[in-house]
Amino acid sequence: MPVKKTAKKTTAKKTAKKKPAAKKTTKKTATKKTAAKKKPAAKKKTAAKKTAKKKTAAKKPAKKKAAPKKKTARKPNAAFMKPMQPDEALGAIVGSKPIPRTEITKKLWDYIKKNNLQNPANKREIMADDKLKPVFGGKGKVSMFEMTKLVSKHMK
């Protein structure tokens, strides 16, 4: 019989040790359960916010589509379209009739490309031939930006 008593005592000690440990785990699980309850609620709130954001985002493009602006065609400047009379030096290249500045520039570039007067190493540079030297003020090479300045002096 003494063997049975010792066995009961050890099981009683084991159960006594387990109970406090069980209580501690129940407290932890209780906090986990409450935290678990809070998380889905937080997810629901963020989901509601996301849907609200989606609704507002859907409204913004609709506003842009509701009021489209019409594009108007660009009107040329009247000063460029006014016919100008080229002098004799420029008239030898573009003609002697009064024509707008834009047309004079186009005809001048056609002449330059036709006679291959652009510098192959530097395309911005124009090499003058016998007809262009009087227009360029006697210079042999002129940049394309300087060319427009020199050509404007030969128009009335």
- Ranges of each domain in the chain: 1-53, 78-152
**78-152 — its CATH code?**
1.10.245.10
CB 108 within 8 A of CB 91: no
Residue 23 has pLDDT above 60, yes or no: no
> At 115, which helix (H) or strand (E)?
none
pTM of the predicted structure, to 2 decimals: 0.51
> If you average pLDDT over residues 4-15, what whole number do you get?
54
Please report how many Cα atoms fall inside a 13 Å half-sphere around the Cα of residue 90, on the Cβ side.
27
- CB 67 within 8 Å of CB 121: no
User: pLDDT value at position 71?
Assistant: 75
Question: What confidence tens digit (pLDDT) does each residue in 60-88 have?
Answer: 555 555 566 677 787 777 777 889 999 99
- Each residue of 98-153: pLDDT tens digit? 999 989 999 999 999 999 999 999 999 999 999 999 999 999 999 999 998 999 99
Q: Is the pLDDT of residue 36 over 70?
A: no
